[in-house]
Amino acid sequence: KETIKGALAEDSVVKVALLGGKVDFEDGTSAVLRTLDFEPMVEGKKYLLFLYANRNGSDVYLLTGGPQGLFELKGQAGIKAHARPNDPAVKEVQNLTEDSLREKVKDYARKWPESRECCN
């Protein structure tokens, strides 16, 4: 619905690759990667995502910092960080409301308006 920083148009469809999943092979076998500490996104819920463009040139975005880049916005119930419990992102949002988190992110975006490419 809203882009706080970056060039994505508001209300646009964004493809995001998440950790985990299943791959089916031509010979009928498959491989599954389960991520026990990472809950997937659920359709119908509201999230704040920190994303970066996939370096392989596709139109699929990736979560910045893996699970640290995913927060469920639960209205009056607050924020649910999808990071591991000991990650700093979890502690930083535990007493914030949805609106206060959004304002905090906007404030950071104003302080650091330019994105830098990482990890070449």
pLDDT tens digits, one per residue of 12-63: 888 998 888 899 999 999 999 888 778 888 999 999 999 988 888 888 999 9
Give the three-class secondary structure for 66: helix
pTM of the model as a whole: 0.79
Strands 21-24 and 30-33: antiparallel
pLDDT digits (tens, 9 = 90+) for 64-120: 888 889 999 998 888 988 888 888 888 888 889 998 998 999 998 888 867 666 554
Written as six digits, the tokens of 53 are: 């463009």
Sign of CA dihedral 84, 73, 14, 107: negative
Strands 70-73 and 79-81: antiparallel
C-alpha 94/C-alpha 77 separation (Å) is 11
